[in-house]
Amino acid sequence: MKHLSLLIMTALLGLVTLSSCQKEENTPQQTQGVKFIYASQVENAFQLTPLADLAEGVQTSFDNSQTLPVGHLFLEKYGDYIYAMSGSMYGYGGEQTLRKYQMKDGKLQEVATLSFKGSPNVLEVIFASDTKAYGVTCASRGQLVIFNPSTMQEMGEIDLSPYAATDPKAEAPDKDPDAGTGIVRDGKLFLCLNQTKSMMELYDEPASVAVIDVATDKVEKVIKDSRVQSLGMVGHTSAILDEAGNIYFYSGPRSAMFGKPEGILRIKKGETDFDKEYYVSVTKADGAEPTSFGMTMTYYQGKVYFFLEKPSLVVDPNDKTFTKNKDFVPYELDLKSGKGKILPLPGSSGWSANATIAYNGKIYFGIHAKDGLGFYSYDPATGQGSSKPVVTTPAGIYTIIKL
């Protein structure tokens, strides 16, 4: 628990409130050879860095980087634009400003910002369309902020407080169900509800997902499944949508570390309830340990790729920099069979255990290893992995997106 607490607290920091909504250019520029944006933390800032290719021998620098204050980083491409925000995870760091970028001359150019009103503590964004997106709040009053990503203006809120779990012995009821990972499919927003007492404490509640009609912004129902607790940890997990249109949600770090029911659940295409015939455990997969966990996952051809935390590899439990221990190992998990394997790549530190991406038939992992920092490659067709980074970076990698 101490490890997770320090990981979250260290990985998510800063607090500034800005206020502006700039007029954007109507036509975005071409990416001009830039295929990816990756993020690294250097001291008290994130460096958002353009990357031309994941090719052997590429070396990168922060010369053309945009900076954001340290906090929980949201970074995603939607349509022709890149959106980024440094949010505050349970009060640790961040700012209340979503930034919108386009690529120009090989650099990220800011074209608009949205500073959320009051203190909703927006942490993640789920896009429904070019004109509607949802701001997921953390440790707030249980609201889901609706805004227009084209105009970067707020449109309203959805009240999630009626769906919050609470402690009957508490002096005041908990009004925040703690929204987490979400995804839009077939006009419905499927939004995980984490149901937490605090950053490091969970309610004994089954996995919960709110099903919201995107056209009306009304909560249609909340589905539950006792096989998993606290599904879709905010900021630490990713929703998976396979080729058939099935949705997969994973519990994330907290459940496994606390010894709570963990795992992956599925909502089949055309359904709005959990698939009672489907369940995959991460802690029981090959090579995992009783409190092992993963975080964000990359889907490729029926399998997910991520960093698996192995407590037995921790050599310094007091390392607050999360760079000394290489206890996060690259991992492959088959979503159909539930079988997994540790990949032939070096282990990474806790601060660099999220950046995975599929590209040109290979899986790339951003690894903070003893033998070098950067992107290491794994070829699923041959089972071969690189022993050194194919792309080197000046610092450990926090995340990466494809343009």
Cα 6 to Cα 2: distance, rounded to the nearest angstrom: 6
pLDDT at 342 over 90: yes
Average pLDDT over residues 291-316: 98
pLDDT at 20 over 80: no
Cα 3 to Cα 261: distance, rounded to the nearest angstrom: 19
Over residues 109-150, the pLDDT tens digits come to 999 999 998 778 899 999 999 999 999 998 888 999 999 999
Number of independent structural domains in the chain: 1
Q: How far is residue 187 CA from its own chain's centroid?
A: 22
Q: Give the CA dihedral 113, 110, 77, 64, nearest 10 degrees.
A: -140
Collapsing DSSP states into helix, strand and coil, what is residue 102?
strand
Cα 96 to Cα 161: distance, rounded to the nearest angstrom: 21
Confidence of residue 200 (pLDDT cuts 50, 70, 90): confident
Question: Do the domain assignments include residue 17?
Answer: no
Neighbours of 294 (CB within 10 A): 31
pTM above 0.75, yes or no: yes
Query: Is the Cβ–Cβ distance between 376 and 367 less than 8 Å?
Result: yes
pLDDT at 11 over 70: no
Cα 369 to Cα 346: distance, rounded to the nearest angstrom: 6
pLDDT at 309 over 80: yes
Query: Is the Cβ–Cβ distance between 183 and 239 less than 8 Å?
Result: yes
Characterize the bridge pairing of strands 58-59 and 45-51.
Answer: unpaired
Collapsing DSSP states into helix, strand and coil, what is residue 63?
coil
Cα 150 to Cα 210: distance, rounded to the nearest angstrom: 26
> For position 15, what pLDDT does the model report?
27
Query: Is the Cβ–Cβ distance between 401 and 68 less than 8 Å?
Result: no
Over residues 239-275, the pLDDT tens digits come to 999 999 999 999 999 999 999 999 999 999 999 999 9
DSSP for 359-388?
A: ETTEEEEEEEETTEEEEEEEETTTTEE-SS
Question: Do the domain assignments include residue 55?
Answer: no
Question: Do the domain assignments include residue 276?
Answer: no
Query: Is the Cβ–Cβ distance between 390 and 24 less than 8 Å?
Result: no
> For position 12, what pLDDT does the model report?
36
pLDDT at 181 over 90: yes
Angle at 5 between CA 4 and CA 6, to 5 degrees: 90
Quote the mean pLDDT of the chain. 91
* Encoded amino acid at 1, one letter: M
Question: Do the domain assignments include residue 97?
Answer: no
Q: Running DSSP on this structure, what letter comes out for residue 22?
A: P
Question: Do the domain assignments include residue 398?
Answer: yes
Question: Do the domain assignments include residue 160?
Answer: no
Characterize the bridge pairing of strands 391-392 and 58-59.
Answer: parallel
Question: Do the domain assignments include residue 32?
Answer: no
Question: Do the domain assignments include residue 236?
Answer: no
Secondary structure tally for the chain: helices H, strands E: 2, 31
Collapsing DSSP states into helix, strand and coil, what is residue 67?
strand
Distances from the Cα of 144 to the Cαs of 73, 97, 179, 230, 242, in angstroms?
A: 18, 16, 8, 18, 26
Buried b (16+ CB within 10 A) or exposed e, 355-377: bbbbbeebbbbbbbbeeebbbbb
Residue 325: domain span: 290-402
